[in-house]
Amino acid sequence: MSDSSAATSAPKPAPKEESLLYISSSPHIASAVNSRTLMKRVLFALAPVTIFGVVLYGLPALLTILVSIAAAELAETAFRKITRKDIRNKDCSAAVTGLLLALVLPPGTPLWMTALASAFAIVVAKEFFGGLGANVFNPALVGRAFLIMSFPAAITTYVNPAPFGSALSADATSSATLMVLIKNGESLDSIGRNYSEIIRNLFMGNYACSIGESSVLAILIGLAFLLIIKVIDWRTPVSMLGSIFVLSFILGRDPLLAVLGGGVAFGAVFMATDYVTSPLSGKGKIIFGCGAGIVTVLIRQWGAYPEGVTYGILIMNGLTPFLNRILPKKFGYVKPVKTKEQSK
């Protein structure tokens, strides 16, 4: 046998792993909107509540936002380097998580707690599950729940609003939130002198609350933007707000205060509508929103905490895989139009 024939008959080396083709299951959807574009749109929608929060609470709110975003970006980069995964900081998902977390925190939250909660949200609630698109629970809410359980006094201490540039620091006067006042049966004089003034202050945001949860008007501006560009579906926020309104009325609570106060509006618009942790089908979104609203009201009524939005949404996050299984969404399916002969 010649050398040339031996060379041709020699077994070929096995293909490298990089050359193998991995095929995932359907659906396969081609779209010009990638993760980065989507996250940038969410950041744009959050701009009104972010700006309003900084104007209302001053430098502490700004520092909380910056520290939370920086900690989220650093935590994601460090974790993915340690685990030898691709660095994904260009998709802005960590920035969205950091900003959402900051906006649901009191402006006076110690910065080291903010950084710790932001890192916890990214590493434990997101990267441990596989990263972007694989997490079961909303990372920002997991970070807030972590602070509530670990440092309840700090996370429930709020400060009165003050314009940007004023000396809002350690000497700022603390104030109870609307939910705390209602829970304890106290007077609402700190929010307004009469009912119409209370409603106006709640809608505009002139009362003690988390950085991004106070102004319902700013939240509605963000909601309108997200609906117009079709980033979110109306079913989840509407069903959540509607269930809170109805159940609060049934239980003898003021339904308007229940919807306008606390983190209901912010949670319904920016937290409950998260793509990854909410159902895919329209019916599933309605059930998700109603469930989150019902749990929120039940916690407010009989729970130890005055606010229940965080746990209401997180509990429904855990039910999302089940809802997707029993109410699957048929991608690409178009309902056939009945002809006149078929309708007879």
Q: 139: helix, coil or strand?
A: helix
Instruction: Report helix angle 282-302 to 235-250, nearest 10.
Output: 30
Mean pLDDT value of segment 33-49: 87
Cβ neighbours of residue 130 closer than 8 Å, sequence gap 6 or more: none
Is the preceding peptide bond at 27 cis, omega within 30 degrees of 0?
yes
Burial track 129-139 (b if 16+ CB lie within 10 A, e otherwise) = eebbeebbbbb
Is 0.85 topped by the overall pTM?
no
Give pLDDT tens digits for 206-253.
888 899 988 899 999 999 999 999 999 999 999 999 999 999 999 999
Out of 1.10.150, 1.20.58, 1.10.8, 1.10.3430, the CATH code matching 35-326 is: 1.10.3430
Phi, psi at 175, each rounded to 5° = -150, 150
Residue extents of the structural domains in the chain:
35-326
Give pLDDT tens digits for 310-331.
999 999 999 999 999 988 766 5
Give pLDDT tens digits for 257-314.
999 988 899 999 999 999 889 998 899 999 999 999 999 999 999 988 888 899 999 9
